[in-house]
Amino acid sequence: MEAARGAVVSLNYTLKNDEGELLDGTETPIQYLHGYDNIIPGLEKALEGAESGHKRSVVLPPAEAYGEHDPTRILTLPPESVPDDMEIEPGMNVMGETPSGPVSLTVRDVTDDGILVDANHPLAGETLHFEVEVVEVRAASDQELEEGCVRPQ
């Protein structure tokens, strides 16, 4: 079976940046429902038609991964926007609430005047280098297709 819309793909991968630094990887295969936007667009496109045993190197520019870094997504929040019992430090990832729903924020700096946060994905603006091995491709269950994501078998 090939990776196509409605197939469950199991894969192992390593992810590095342009400098060759290891950013992420798997020790056990991950699964995703192909064609349902469950992984970054460029990687899903690169795996279209892949079968079990397929190995591939994939290099994705920011536009095909997490997008370009957008400086307008760097914001200063007032100190009172953080609960008194919460200790905020640079480098922390916190969730923020917006009118359109929750958003992940990375704390860049904390001063008496405010908290500098970045709403960009941590890998925005990065060219990503994947080494991918497709372990298995199977048909999705009716429930998986209805819900748009993989369920444990």
Backbone phi, psi, residue 142, to 5°: -60, -40
Element (H, E) at 85: none
The separation between CA 119 and the C-alpha centre of its own chain, rounded to angstroms, equals 14
Higher pLDDT, 103 or 50: 50
Share of the chain above pLDDT 70, in %: 99
Q: DSSP secondary-structure letter at 107?
A: E
The CATH class, in words, for 7-66+124-147 is alpha beta
Contact by Cβ (8 Å): 117, 95? no
CA distances from 97 to 32, 82, 121, 149 (A): 27, 12, 16, 25
The sign of the dihedral angle between the CA atoms of 22, 28, 34, 38 is negative
**Spans of all domains in the chain:** 7-66+124-147, 71-118
pTM given for the model: 0.83
Please check whether the domain covering 71-118 is classified as CATH 1.10.10.10.
no
pLDDT tens digits, 84-123: 888 889 999 988 888 888 889 999 999 988 999 999 999 9
| Cα dihedral value 129, 135, 139, 143, nearest 10 | -80
The separation between CA 10 and the C-alpha centre of its own chain, rounded to angstroms, equals 16
The sign of the dihedral angle between the CA atoms of 103, 105, 110, 111 is negative
Assess whether pLDDT exceeds 70 at residue 153.
Answer: no
Return the structure tokens found at 61.
């520019």
Residues whose CB falls within 8 Å of the CB of residue 64, separated by 6 or more in sequence, listed in order: 40, 41, 42, 45
Please state, rounded to an integer, the average pLDDT across all residues of the chain: 94
Residue whose structure tokens are 């894969």 = 11
